[in-house]
Structure 1
Amino acid sequence: MPRAERWLIFPTRSEQRDRTRISLVDMSKSIVQIRNEAAAALSPERQQQWEQFLTPAPVAEQAAGLFTPAVEPVRVLDLGSGTGILAALVAAHASAGSSVTAIERDVDLAKASEASIRQVCDDVEVIGKSVFDVLLDDRFDRVILNPPYKKISPVTIPTAGGGVKITNLYTAFLVIAVQALAEVGECVAIIPRSWMNGEYFKDFRKWLLDECSLDVLAVYGSRQDHFKDMDVLQEIMLLKVSKRKQSGSVAVYDGIRPEIPLDRQPHELIPLEALTMGRDRILRVERQDPRLSRFKTLSEQGMWVSTGKLVWFRNRDLLSDTEKPGSHPLYWSDNQRGMTTVHPVKCDREQWVTDKADSRNMVLPSGSYCLVNRFSAKEQRHRIYASYLRSDTEYVADNKLNYVHQGTSRRTVPLNDKVAWGLTLWLTSSIVDEWYRQVSGSTQVNATDLRQLPCPSPGQLAELSDLLPVNDAVDQQSIDHTLEGMFSWTKAS
C-alpha cells in the first residue's frame, strides 16, 4: 500500500494551508494509532532500561499548544522523537514553509516519526542517530522533547558558558535542546519535576535559569492520569523556556489534568524571584505561604541535616540480630513509629551493628535528634515523615534516614531535647507539608531542601514542645491548632 494511502487519513498539506488554524480534534487518528501501537510493542525491559515513555495524545496536545503562534515559517526540532507525535502536532499549527528535524536512534521509531510528521509537513528530516552523536546549530525556532528519564553517572556537558554537570538523561537532552535554539526561540519539554530541587540538579538549574527565560511551569496533579499505559512513577510536568532575557513573570499551573486544555485550567503569573530559594535556586510551584515569611531557614537557625551513614549492602558484616558487647542500636525507617522512634522493633531488618562500626565513621553521639525518612511519594499523608529520637547510647542510622542536629556537615552535635521534639511537631504540621509539596516533586526528601525549610528558632521550638509534650498520640488538628495560637496566625490568603 502506498504511504500516502496508508498514513494520510486527513487533509493534505495543501488543504491545510487554506486554514487559519488546524483543530487537533480534526487531526487524523493515524498519528495517535502509530503512537499507541509503538507503546504496546515497547517491551517492559526496554522501557525500564531507558525510562522511555512515549507521549500520549492529550499530553502532546498540551505541550505543543504552549508555543507562541508564529505567522512566519518556523524550524522545528524534536529530540528523541519517538513516534513523532510531538513534532507532528507542532508542525500542524505552523505556517506553510515550516520544516521539521527529528532525531531518533531507534530504527522502528524513526520510521514511525517520519510517517507521522510527513502527514503535516513537507520539509522533514529524520536522523537515525543518538542525540549525542548529532552536531546541531543554534538555528531552531521551536524545540520540543519528551526525553528518556534515566539516571546516569555524572558527566559534564560543554556549553558556551562553561561545563554543566549532568546526572540524568533528561537534563542532558535539555542542555542540547537549549543550545540548539535560535535567538528568541522556544523550547517545550515533558520531563520529571525532580530538576527543580535537590543537590544533583543544582548545576543544571543555575545554568538553565541563567541561559533562558523560564516561561511556563505546569505540573500534573496525578502520576497515573497522563501516561496511563506507560507506568510512570515520577511527577511529570511541562516546562517552557525561551532564548531571551527573563520575562516579567512565570505562568505556573499546579495540578493540571491532561484531558482539559491548559487555557481552561487555573494558573498564576508569578515573578521568578518569588519562586526561587537560596543560592542553589530551588524552584517552587507556588508563592510561599506568607505565614512562613517570618522564619529563617532551618540551617540559618543553627541546625543541620545529615544523612545516615550506614549503607547496608556495603556493611553486611556489621549487621546483627542480637545485642552483643560493644554493639550499637541501628535505626531504619522501620523504627519510625508515628512521631517517635522505637528500638528494637520486630521487622525484617537487623536491629544492631557490631563494634566494628566504630572504625567506619558511622556511629553518632547519644542524645536527641529528629529523624526524617528520605523517601516519600505525593500520595502519602505527609511528604516529610519526621520522628523524635532520644538515644541514651551511641547509635547508627541507615542511609535512608536523614537526621537533624545542631552541628555541621563534618561534626554531629545532638539537639536540645525540647528542640528535637518541637522540630518533629513543626515538620509534621500541615503548613510545612504544603511547603514541601510545592518545593519537591521527587520521591527523595533531600537534606538540601530540608535545610532551606522555614523554621522557628530553637527557643520557639522548645516552647512548642512545652505546649504539646512528647506523646505519639498527638493528632494533626492539635498540632496545627497549637501553631495557629502560638504564632497568632489567621487563615492564609
Structure 2
Amino acid sequence: MTKTIVQIRNEAAASLSPEEQQQWEQFLTPMPVAQQAVGLFTSTVAPVRILDLGSGSGILGAVSARNSASGSSVVAIEQDSALASCSETSLQQVCSDVEVINRSVFDVFLEPEFDRVILNPPYKKISPVSIATSSGSVKVTNLYTAFLAMAIQSLADGGECVAIIPRSWMNGEYFKDFRKWMLHECSLDALAVYGSRHDHFRDMNILQEIMLLKISKRAQIKGIEVYPDATPAIPLEKQQHETVKLDSMLMGRDCILRVQQQDARLSGFETMTDQGLWVSTGKLVWFRNRDVLSADEQQDGHPLYWSDNQDGLMTVHPVQCNREQWVTREADSHNVVLPAGSYCLVNRFSSKEQHHRIYASYLRSDVDFVADNKLNYVHQGTSRRTVPLDDKVAQGLTVWLSSSIVDEWYRQVSGSTQVNATDLRQLPCPSRMQLGMLADRLPPDNDVSQHRIDATIERLFSWVQVS
C-alpha cells in the first residue's frame, strides 16, 4: 500500500535523532501548517514552476504541486540522502515532472525562473557571512535567512515565495541588513504569526516563535495581510486578520517590523532615543573575565550585578546565588566598569510565556559597578560614553517599562527570546519630566502590584476617568 504524504512526513520526523535535530535545528513541516503555507500562494490556472528549498520529507513541494494546475513542475533540494528519498516518494504521488537534487542548497546554482518557492529552512545560527546577490551582497547571521536570500534570488519576476521561519528576523541588530535588503528586493505580501509555540510543530519540540511569510518579486503592494495570532487548527481565511500598509508596520532606520498597529495611547510619545535615553548592554562577559570575579568583597573592587540581582522593580546587592557578586580592582583595566549613579536595568532574555517580556529594575549605586552582559542598562549618554540618569527619571522609567501597555507593545515587536537594546531604543516613552512625575506617584518597590502600576500610569496620562 502506498504511503500518504502525511505518513512519509511523520515517519521521517520520528526517524530524526535528537542529535540530528539539534545539529541543524530542522523541523519537518506538519500537514496543517503545510496547507496554510501553500494556501497563501495566489491561485492560477496556468502551470507553475515550483522550488522546494531544503525539502525534508517533500511535504511542502507535494502540497504545492497538488494545489497547482496540471503541467506544473517541482524541483526539490535536500542534502540528507534519506530525506531526499522521502521527498521523491512524496512528490511523485502528485506530480509527473519532478527533480530531486541530493545536495546542499549552497552547492546548487539556481536561475531566477521559479514561479513559486516554498521552504521551511533550518533555523541554526551561523557566524555572519555575506551572500552575493544581483543587487549586491547581504549579510546573514542564521541559516534560515541564508536560505531565504537564495529563495528570493531564484524567483522569476512576479514569482511568489512562502517561508515557514522564526519571527526573529523582524527585529534586532543581527537581522538589520537582511531586513533592509529583503524589503528592497521584494513585496511583503502576508504575515501569519502563530500564537502558541506548542500548537504548530507539536512532535518536533520546537522553541522558536514561528510564522508564515509571503513575499513576491515585484513592487511593494499597498495592503499586507497580517494574521497576528494564527493557529494551524483553522484555515487562515477564517481567522482574524487585517490589511495594513508597510509604512504603518515599520519603525526607525533599522526597519523593525511590528505585527500589529501601535496602541493609539502611545502615539503621542517619542522613542526612548528621542527622549535622550540610551540603551547599552552590560560590558562583562563572565567567561572572558573569570580572573576578576570574586565571591567576596575586595578592597578597591566593585559590585557585580546579574539578572539574579533583580527583585521586583528593585535591584539588590549582594544576593545569595551561585554567581560571584564582586569583581576585583583589576576589572578597571578590562573596560567593564560603569560610573556610580542611577540606572534602569533590563534583563536581555525572556520568553513569550513569561508574565513580562521586559523585566526592568531600578538601580541606585553609590559606587562604580559592573553589569553582566545579559543585562541591558538605560542611561543618558551615548554608545561610547555612559552617563547615569537623574534618579527620578530612573525610577519612573522602571515603572513605565513594567507596565502592561509597554509589555503589549514589545510582544508585537519581538518574537525572539532576546530583549534587544536596538528594539528598546524605539520604545515609546514619556518625557523625562513625566517620568519624574510617575516616580513621585509610584516609587519602585520590590512587591508593587501590576494593577497598581497600570492604574497609576492610566491616571497620570488621563487614559481613564478618575472617580
TM range (shorter): over 0.9
Pick the aligned partner of 1:317 from 288, 291, 306. Answer: 291
Paired letter, 1:6: T
State whether structure 2 residue 237 is matched by structure 1 residue 241: no
State whether structure 2 residue 2 is matched by structure 1 residue 6: yes
- Deviations 1:434-476, CA, capped at 9 Å, x for gaps: 0000000010000000000000111110011001123222211
Distance 1:275 1:470 in 2: 33
- Deviations 1:344-365, CA, capped at 9 Å, x for gaps: 0000101001111000100000
Pick the aligned partner of 1:405 from 366, 372, 379. Answer: 379
Match in the other structure for 1:24: none
State whether structure 2 residue 318 is matched by structure 1 residue 344: yes
Match in the other structure for 1:181: 155
Match in the other structure for 2:353: 379
State whether structure 2 residue 182 is matched by structure 1 residue 205: no
Pick the aligned partner of 2:258 from 273, 277, 284. Answer: 284
Uncovered stretches (5+) of structure 2, i.e. residues with no partner: none
- Deviations 1:377-429, CA, capped at 9 Å, x for gaps: 01000000000000011000000000000000000000000000100000000
- Deviations 1:65-105, CA, capped at 9 Å, x for gaps: 11111110000000000000000000001111100000001
Secondary structure at the counterpart of residue 162 of structure 2: strand
Q: How many residues align?
A: 465
State whether structure 2 residue 67 is matched by structure 1 residue 67: no
Alignment TM-score, normalising by the size of structure 2:
0.99
Paired letter, 1:326: D
Paired letter, 2:6: V
Paired letter, 1:451: R
- Deviations 1:242-279, CA, capped at 9 Å, x for gaps: 11111111111011111111111110101110000001
Distance 1:490 1:201 in 2: 39
Match in the other structure for 2:344: 370
- Deviations 1:150-196, CA, capped at 9 Å, x for gaps: 00000000111111000000000000001111111100000000000
Match in the other structure for 1:219: 193
Pick the aligned partner of 1:88 from 62, 84, 97. Answer: 62
**What is the Cα-based RMSD across aligned positions, in Å?**
0.9
Distance 2:361 2:83 in 1: 49
Distance 2:110 2:455 in 1: 57
Match in the other structure for 2:302: 328
State whether structure 2 residue 115 is matched by structure 1 residue 141: yes
Paired letter, 2:211: M
- Deviations 1:331-353, CA, capped at 9 Å, x for gaps: 00000001100000000101001
Distance 1:150 1:470 in 2: 40
State whether structure 2 residue 419 is matched by structure 1 residue 445: yes
Measured after TM superposition, the shift of residue 489 of structure 1 is: 1.7
Pick the aligned partner of 2:239 from 251, 265, 268. Answer: 265
- Of 469-478 and 79-88, deviating more is 469-478
Secondary structure at the counterpart of residue 2 of structure 2: helix
Distance 2:2 2:175 in 1: 44
Match in the other structure for 1:19: none
Secondary structure at the counterpart of residue 60 of structure 1: helix
Measured after TM superposition, the shift of residue 6 of structure 1 is: 3.4
Match in the other structure for 1:48: 22
Paired letter, 1:195: W
Paired letter, 1:211: E
Pick the aligned partner of 2:203 from 226, 229, 233. Answer: 229
State whether structure 2 residue 401 is matched by structure 1 residue 427: yes
Q: Which runs of 4+ in 1 moved over 4 A?
A: none
Judge conservation of contact 2:187–2:219 (CA < 8 Å) in 1.
yes
Secondary structure at the counterpart of residue 6 of structure 1: coil
Match in the other structure for 1:193: 167
> Superposition pairs for residues 349-360 of structure 1, below 5 Å?
349-360=323-334
Paired letter, 2:2: R
Paired letter, 1:427: L
Uncovered stretches (5+) of structure 1, i.e. residues with no partner: 8-29
Match in the other structure for 1:36: 10
Secondary structure at the counterpart of residue 129 of structure 2: strand
Distance 1:229 1:355 in 2: 51
Distance 1:186 1:261 in 2: 20
Secondary structure at the counterpart of residue 479 of structure 1: helix
- Deviations 1:202-230, CA, capped at 9 Å, x for gaps: 00000111111101110001111111111
Measured after TM superposition, the shift of residue 490 of structure 1 is: 4.9
Alignment TM-score, normalising by the size of structure 1:
0.93
Paired letter, 1:64: V
Match in the other structure for 1:251: 225
